[in-house]
Chain A
């Protein structure tokens, strides 16, 4: 399927466990992003990547790890999940035009994560 997909769509885990959320895009977009959405905080950027092997922190990176060995994949790992990481996680991607900042971000359907 074309576009941006996330898996799993729903995940329940326990405190202290490692969890990896997957994100895959078929557009070959340069930029990829991870956001979390929480009531009262809106959408906040966790990490982003400008290209394969290039990642950078966003607003709320603590407790998360990312990697990007291939352009199309951008997994997000919670190394030791905590209850405060219960949230809905969205992956997004954006192309890189000659005017790099001008392009839309397109979002995946989200992963609802519950940490017990």
Chain B
């Protein structure tokens, strides 16, 4: 059974610092990995989708890397801002088009 882990569960950084969020998964037989952002009391917003054949995907200040063989993905957020404060979730897609989610990392960016 696929298990997805995100460590740390919470992270606090000063504004301007780069954020590094980690995601690990136990079964490397994935089709892709998706990073989401969730604000308190809100739904999930898709940030990046990285296919199993890709090593990296970028969107603005966000960059996600994927090392399928080692079961790891990292989301980098450059020059963090208070508006980046949210919970970040990673999810892997395997057979059946089903997503398995990690527990999330709660990020606080202090002004």
Taking Cβ atoms with an 8 Å cutoff, the residues of A that contact B are 31, 33, 42-45, 48, 50, 56, 58, 90, 92, 94, 100-110
Contact = CB atoms under 8 A, between A and B. Distances in A.
Contacts of A92: 44
Contact of B93 (A90, A101, A106, A109): A101
Contacts of A48: 96-98
B44 A107 contact: yes
B27 to A, nearest CB: 14
Interface residues of B, number: 23
B99 A102 contact: no
Contacts of A109: 42-43
Contacts of B101: 42-44
Interface string B25-56: 00000011010100000111110010100000
B43 A108 contact: yes
Name B's interface SS: strand
Contact of B98 (A45, A103, A104): A45
A41 to B, nearest CB: 8
B86 to A, nearest CB: 14
Interface of B: 31-32, 34, 36, 42-46, 49, 51, 89, 91, 93, 95-99, 101-104
Nearest to A4: B43
Contact of A31 (B36, B43, B97): B97
Given A48-B98, A56-B96, 18 more contacts: A33-B98, A43-B91, A43-B99, A43-B101, A45-B98, A50-B97, A58-B98, A90-B43, A90-B44, A94-B97, A100-B97, A101-B93, A102-B32, A102-B51, A105-B91, A106-B46, A107-B45, A109-B42
A100 B96 CA distance: 9
Contacts of B43: 90, 107-110
Contacts of B95: 101
Give the most central of B49, B91, B96: most A CB within 10 Å: B96
Contact of B104 (A42, A50, A110): A42
